[in-house]
Amino acid sequence: MVAGAMTSGRRAKAGAAKKAAILRAGLDIFSRVGLHGATLDRLAEKAGVSKTNLLYYFPSKEALYIAVLQDLLDIWLAPLRAFRHDVEPLAAIGDYISLKMAVSRDHPQASRLFCLEMLQGAPLLKTLLERDLRQLVEEKSAIIRGWVAEGKLAPRDPHHLIFTIWATTQHYADFSTQIEAVCGQTLQDDTFFHQAVENVQRIILEGIRPR
Amino acid sequence: MVAGAMTSGRRAKAGAAKKAAILRAGLDIFSRVGLHGATLDRLAEKAGVSKTNLLYYFPSKEALYIAVLQDLLDIWLAPLRAFRHDVEPLAAIGDYISLKMAVSRDHPQASRLFCLEMLQGAPLLKTLLERDLRQLVEEKSAIIRGWVAEGKLAPRDPHHLIFTIWATTQHYADFSTQIEAVCGQTLQDDTFFHQAVENVQRIILEGIRPR
DNA sequence: GTCTATACAAAGATAGAC
DNA sequence: GTCTATCTTTGTATAGAC
């Protein structure tokens, strides 16, 4: 059934739901302790299934890890794909910042796991980064370069601008522990979230406004 | 001898050198794969000692990990401690940015391990963050607030400004894999380093310049 | 599909000789 | 201080009954 076979429908759904629960548990735990820090016991417990049952749905811990990573990429790339080229530059970039901040608030595990992979040298994502991400970044960079040429943006290197946006927005998810230790607040707090978005936007947008 | 006893001197030095080599290996490996991903075998091999010998100098893998973390903090906190309050605001912040960028270039492992700890909720550093770091940040925030009040800086929340600086500068160490995938260059490349510093400085400094 | 029992491997740590 | 040998634990994964 899991391996194929469009049987019943009710059962297939139950299987899919379990798979989804395991994937959620995987994202949650891997994002905290990494592939090596996670144990099948903890993963199974978190997902609410037995260890053997988990291994029925995913042949190995690594297979689950890879499946989790694949799901992750969609979440991570969505904001960049949604980057607008048909509106005012400062509006487009301002929107992109708030979109990324929302991802940091709503999918902190995804952000953290992505970060974890990067720290390790991205053994599993490297090819994908060098191909897809690089091309996507080139596209968006061309738009930004165009804006600079038209004088709609102060002269800044598009790559470094994009890195600055990624860095600041993801920081609120990846370093939430530190932020909480220093400020006593997190992005879950609505007031704090808006304050953070506004401050980041102000700094970056004023930093690229033409004069 | 290791445990105390100011014997000989030559031998003590040899012991200290080994300990240092083990600590270096620990920083290098832990920063890549974390506490759980590191094995005593790999740690010992990297340090150039036998597994049992390593356990002679550090009673357990965790003990080594903690020792590495302690060394780490000095590197990590140094730039913030060096933050100047007696020069022009934009110069002080510009210097801080380039200092942090230099740390990202020269101590990428330290930056990565710090990041790793944060991702995991900083079980070992939490108390320290909530006490020492918080206080240090408060001190520097007060300085920034003063500058804002004097009109020497555009109105920005000091916390978010500090986070923005940390995020952008550390990003070049923590996400070096991604940066290399996208740009084909790293901070080790001198031209790229200066280009990165300048772009980050421009964005942030222009973003906080009063008008 | 799910469970119990179990095989198998890896890795942390210790004992004791030298 | 350093080595060899070994114990022990933990965790991944499989076999086979139901």
**Torsion angle in degrees (nearest 10) through CA of B142, B168, B75, B95:** -60
Using the C1' atom of nucleotide D15, identify the protein residue whose alpha carbon is closest: A52
* Mean pLDDT within B56-73: 97
Instruction: Tell me whether residues B34 and A36 touch, CB distance under 8 A.
Output: yes
Band (A12; pLDDT cuts 50, 70, 90): confident
Instruction: Tell me whether residues A164 and B200 touch, CB distance under 8 A.
Output: yes
Q: Look at residue B157 and tell me whether its pLDDT is greater than 80.
A: yes
Q: Look at residue A110 and tell me whether its pLDDT is greater than 70.
A: yes
| pLDDT score at B5 | 43
Q: For residues A169 and A176, is the Cβ–Cβ distance under 8 A? A: no
CB contact B120 to A (< 8 Å): yes
Q: Using a pLDDT cut of 70, give the percent of chain A over it.
A: 96
Give the CA B53 to C1' C18 distance in Å. Answer: 15
Q: Using a pLDDT cut of 70, give the percent of chain B over it.
A: 96
Q: 1.10.760.10, 1.10.10.60, 3.30.420.40, 1.20.1050.10: which CATH number matches A2-59? A: 1.10.10.60
Indicate the domain borders of chain A: 2-59, 68-208
Q: Look at residue A181 and tell me whether its pLDDT is greater than 50.
A: yes
CA B56 to chain centre: 28
**Rounded to an integer, what distance in angstroms lies between the CA atom of residue A185 and that of residue A178?**
10
Which element (helix H / strand E) includes B200? helix B190-208
**Rounded to an integer, what distance in angstroms lies between the CA atom of residue A74 and that of residue B34?**
26
Lowest mean pLDDT among B21-25, B32-36, B54-58, B71-75: B71-75
Q: Which amino acid, residue A112? A: R
Q: For domain A68-208, give the fold.
A: Tetracycline Repressor; domain 2 (1.10.357)
| pLDDT score at B14 | 83
* Mean pLDDT within B189-207: 98
pTM: 0.95
* Mean pLDDT within A21-47: 98
Tell me the nt nearest to A61, Cα to C1'. Answer: D12
* Mean pLDDT within A149-176: 98
Helix residue ranges per DSSP H, B7-88: 10-37, 40-47, 51-57, 61-81
Q: Look at residue A53 and tell me whether its pLDDT is greater than 60.
A: yes
List chain A residues with CB under 8 Å of B39. none
Of chain B residues 129-168, which have a CB less than 8 A from chain A? Answer: 129-130, 133-134, 137, 154, 156-157, 159-161, 163-164, 166-168
Band (A13; pLDDT cuts 50, 70, 90): confident
Distances (CA, A) of A175 to A167, B3, B121: 11, 36, 8
| pLDDT score at A1 | 44
